[in-house]
Amino acid sequence: MTENLLAERRSAAIGRGVGVTTQIYAERAENAEIWDKDGNRFIDFAAGIAVVNTGHRHPRVIEAVRRQLDSFTHTCHQVVPYENYVSLAERLNALVPGDFAKKTIFVTTGAEAVENAVKIARAATGRGGVVAFAGAFHGRTFLGMSLTGKVNPYKTAFGPLVGDVHRLPFPTDMNGVTAEQALEALDRLFHADLDPSRVAAIIVEPVQGEGGFYPAPRQLLVALREICDRHGIVLIADEIQTGFARTGNMFAMERYGVAADLTTMAKGLGGGFPIAAVTGKAEIVDAVAPGGLGGTFAGNPVAVAAAHAVLDVIDEENLCERAERLGSRLKQKLESLRDTVPQIVDIRGPGLMVAVEFNRPGTREPDAGFANAVRERALEKGLILLTCGVNGNAIRFLPPLTVQDEVFAEALGILESAMIEAA
């Protein structure tokens, strides 16, 4: 009853463009569990869309935030700077892949990080063109949705979009697109429509998030690095969903042995507090004149304190290793269900960034209805799941990396029963 009334109030008070996946109204949360206002318990396999990688209310994060609250909450770094902003930049400069001098800027959201990375690339190159990929998600701002490779709901009714954005197919086995075909499309783009000397940046997710958790082939990223070097183009790695131990490495690009010129990050950095960053080659970041980057709330000291604690927890609790171990257990469970759930056509993803994709049995037709049925049945049993993919026919798994072993096992049992019942 409580949540029905809240749903009515929400509908009356909040714009319908802000969609919701569940009608759970959170009352409290701890690690990988959420309790609603009626006292019902749910296991959280969404983690705020890969935000609380270190779990809800990790004690180290809460302690760091409380200490900062006792000191000050806001000065605006551009007016009165503070040390923890500087030291967090130093830590990210050391952690982000790339054997070169780096510098960092902080903003508040992932979309801001993407926008600022493109601004930096344009300032550094004096060019305007940006190349992105089909199926990508880079945010809901005008440039963000222009870069995003999914129309509904992100672009519907919002045109015209930002110009000089060009799109390539993203290589995926499921869609029959190879790395060679994607690179051939880039070559055709450069010969037919876009002189590479006009391209400021190529932006790519090492593992597509909203697009379906498709890992980029190593061949693609190695080739993009060479092409960018050849033409003086800035390579941007969007690590907003893949960052901070989610894929079994601090950053997914480590798995490829390829370093981007600029890396965007957000989500898992703040452990639930809003903070985002761009880290990259010092000479590229410094191409922007003073005042060209920043924001009133950019690098808020409370969020910065939380981020320091998140990095400590990832290191001290070996969360990269734990992501690999839990991801392997999840994939084994999903593989064991192939015979009883014929809709399963693919299981993929590094670390604990895993997806299962569904088609109608015996066909190549995406089955979004089945994916949603699994999600709904799991929710009824107390497990929160998210769908993803351009066709909405995949379920993505993003539990906190700190999820207790017994809670993880309980969630796998719920998942199994939900999938079998839906089949």
Give tens-digit pLDDT for 125-161. Answer: 999 999 999 999 999 999 999 999 988 888 989 989 9
**pLDDT reported for residue 1:** 53
pLDDT above 60 (res 306): yes
**CA distances from residue 317 to 308, 312, 402, 420 in whole angstroms, order as listed:** 14, 8, 8, 34
- Closest Cα to residue 306, out of 26, 20, 53? 53
Give the domain extent around 368: 2-54+318-422
Inter-residue contact 355 to 385 (CB < 8 Å)? no
CATH number, domain with residue 46: 3.90.1150.10
Cα pseudo-dihedral 99, 101, 107, 113, rounded to 10: -50
Do residue 47 and residue 113 come from a single domain?
Answer: no
285 half-sphere exposure, CB direction, 13 A CA radius: 22
Do residue 285 and residue 349 come from a single domain?
Answer: no
Q: What is the percentage of the chain residues whose pLDDT exceeds 90? A: 91
Q: Mean of the pLDDT values across residues 338-345?
A: 96
Give tens-digit pLDDT for 240-271. Answer: 999 999 999 999 999 999 999 999 999 999 99
The residue assigned the tokens 């995926």 is 172
Q: Is 233 exposed, middle or buried (0-12, 13-18, 19+ CB in 10 A)?
A: buried
**pLDDT reported for residue 101:** 98
The residue assigned the tokens 């920043």 is 294
Q: What is the percentage of the chain residues whose pLDDT exceeds 70? A: 100
Q: Mean of the pLDDT values across residues 286-308?
A: 97
Give tens-digit pLDDT for 62-92. Answer: 999 999 999 999 999 999 999 999 999 999 9
Write down which residue in 274, 294, 316 finishes a domain.
Answer: 316
pLDDT above 80 (res 232): yes
Do residue 334 and residue 389 come from a single domain?
Answer: yes
Q: Mean of the pLDDT values across residues 327-344?
A: 97
pLDDT above 60 (res 381): yes
Do residue 412 and residue 375 come from a single domain?
Answer: yes
**pLDDT reported for residue 390:** 87
On average, the pLDDT of the chain sits at: 96
Separation between Cα atoms, residue 28 and residue 10, nearest integer Å: 19
Number of structural domains in the chain: 2
* Amino acid at residue number 372: N
